[in-house]
Amino acid sequence: MSDKKIGNLKMEKQKNNIENKIMDKVLSGEVKMKPKWYFIMGSITSFVGLVGMIIGAIFLTNLTFFFIRKQGPGTGRINVMLDSFPLWVPILAIALVILGIWMLKKYDFSYKKNFVVVAIVVVIAIILSALIIDLLGLNEQWAKRGPMRRFYMEDSNYRVQPLHRPMNRR
């Protein structure tokens, strides 16, 4: 028998072997399909996670704008501002944006489009949304009442001290 024939027979045997091995596992129940709900839950969870992350990023970006506006980044006050500014807010906002973009990458469209453009659009959309909330004054209302008040009350922890104290005070 020629080498080629022996090779072909060997390959044929290997093929049958693969099929038999897999089908044995499938039919014996050793290998089982994950149920449909597992994938449905996975999709829902990742979608809710993505939306939550984007909403969280918008909120925290807006909170950053709110604090900056309240405190005012005036000349000479930047050091005071940095000392007392709740830095966790912008850091968490950036972390959420990065995480959100990473999650977006899991979706099918991400490799069909120019993903850099998609990421830039997401970042711009988050900043714009935060600015719009700020311009509409929604955060002012949230700071006065409602469940989000405590976030905006963070402001009181780092209130800027006046640079020039009244002379007659000790």
Partner 1 sequence: MENIETKTDEEIVELIRNENKELYGQIIKRYQDKLIRYAEYIIGDHDKASDAVQESFIKAYINLNGFDVKKKFSSWIYRIVHNEAINLIDKNKKIVKLDPDIDFDSGVNIEDSYIKEELVSRAHNCLETMDINYREPLSLYYIENKSYEEISDILRIPMGTVAVRINRAKIILKKICQTKK
Contacting residues toward partner 1, per CB under 8 A: 14-15, 18-19, 21-23, 25-27, 31-36, 38-39, 42, 111-114
Closest CA to 97 of 74, 120, 64: 120
Of residues 76 and 109, the one with the C-beta less far from partner 1: 109
SS3 168: coil
Closest CA to 72 of 82, 60, 61, 81: 81
* DSSP string for residues in 100-158: HHHHHTTSGGGGTS-HHHHHHHHHHHHHHHHHHHHHHTHHHHHHHSSTTHHHHGGGGGG
Which segments of 24-94 are extended strands (E)?
Answer: none
Closest approach of Cβ 8 to partner 1, in Å? Answer: 12
Of residues 55 and 104, the one with the C-beta less far from partner 1: 104
Q: What amino acid occupies position 98?
A: I
Of residues 111 and 164, the one with the C-beta less far from partner 1: 111
Closest approach of Cβ 45 to partner 1, in Å? Answer: 14
Residue entry with tokens 């979706």: 107
CA distances from 96 to 73, 148, 164, 168 (A): 25, 18, 39, 48
Of residues 29 and 76, the one with the C-beta less far from partner 1: 29
Closest approach of Cβ 110 to partner 1, in Å? Answer: 8
Closest approach of Cβ 15 to partner 1, in Å? Answer: 6
Of residues 115 and 158, the one with the C-beta less far from partner 1: 115
Closest approach of Cβ 53 to partner 1, in Å? Answer: 22
